[in-house]
Amino acid sequence: MIQKGLKGIVAAETLISHIDGEIGQLFYRGYEIREITKRFSFEEAAFLLWFGHLPDTEQLCTLKDSLKGNRELPEYVKVIIDKLPLKMDLMSVIRTAISAESGNFDYGWKPGVSQAIRLTALVPTIIAYRKRFLEGKMFIPPRSDLDFVENYLYMLNGNVPLSAHVRALETYMILTLEHGMNASTFSARVTASTESDLVSAMTSAIGTMKGPLHGGAPSGVIELLDEIAFVGHAEMVIREKVLRGEKLMGFGHRVYRTHDPRAMALKTKLLELVGEDEWLDLAMAVEDTAVRILEELKPGRSLYTNVEFYAAAIMKAINMDAELFTPTFTASRMVGWTAHVLEQAENNTIYRPQAKYIGTFK
């Protein structure tokens, strides 16, 4: 029996994460995702995925220092980015810049955590450098006194961001660090299974993430929120869309048959920020209205908010351009991808599925 797209096929054993779509749970190394977002920082969650346990104070300081020490782009990578076509999309720029990084250090087999840390540290700088270049603005170097997420926002805009925005984006980036054997993670593990280097595995993953069926930006949610803000009546807009048979962007998920645990974790964090940003407040109100109308008009479908819904609200609140959505997703998912490659390398078997020939014989 052929399973197109390998749906439902178990291709590897992992200690990294577990998803239960039926009851809506996501675990990183045995820790439920809502517990992680309540208690831990981006760096602590990354340490957990890379090393298999939570860091003590000294280990956390060491990781933060290592991430900060690897943020600077080599000059030749800056030159390459400067010479890329202006119309080149940002995901392709990231892929090219990461590929160029392979000339800077020895990324041979087997990969190590230090390589994972360096590549993860570079991506926000690549994004910020290219964004500022396209805007005709001076590049803003990273600051060693700012942690991963706060520094990313600082490099994009040149201002130390509001605490509410840092907390919201950090929660989102923790939630998108890792999500099982998705298409990009699988492509990274397939590349690594040939004993290719970590840079090659990451360029495979980035190229896969670029596809709109996987890493597509939540622009549809932004459009929904913009329309509701303009009309000033959430119930009318949502009810009309559902009655016309339009897909309500930000609701429902392919894996989760109930509440998306990442959306629930993000909502919990945003509840702490009620009153601090009008777009976050709007998103909270729209969710309540939409879930009620969907239950009324589509009973039994269990269409709840997914992580993209609140991600869109956060991106809108921090004034992040739509073309930065998938790159920002990529900046966090580098942790999960590299963790999977490190795991693949420890018990490696090359991936070699078969295809059924359906042509004719002459």
Catalytic residues: 253, 308
Q: For residue 305, give the 3-state DSSP assignment.
A: strand
CB distance 192 to 343 below 8 Å? no
Q: What is the largest CA-CA distance in the chain?
A: 71
CB distance 126 to 81 below 8 Å? yes
Q: For residue 27, give the 3-state DSSP assignment.
A: strand
How many whole angstroms separate alpha carbon 287 and alpha carbon 304? 8
Cβ-Cβ contacts under 8 Å for 176 (sequence gap 6 or more): 262, 307, 311, 329, 332, 333
Beta bridge partners of 278: none
How many whole angstroms separate alpha carbon 192 and alpha carbon 339? 12
What are the Cα distances from residue 125, in Å, to 21, 82, 116, 333?
A: 34, 14, 15, 15
Could you write out the DSSP letters of every residue in 302-326? Answer: ---B-HHHHHHHHHHHTT--GGGHH
How many whole angstroms separate alpha carbon 269 and alpha carbon 149? 16
How many whole angstroms separate alpha carbon 362 and alpha carbon 60? 64
DSSP code of residue 161: P
Residue among 118, 73, 109 nearest 93 (CA): 73
CB distance 93 to 45 below 8 Å? no
How many whole angstroms separate alpha carbon 226 and alpha carbon 92? 29
CB distance 31 to 169 below 8 Å? no
* CB-CB neighbours of 60 under 10 Å: 16
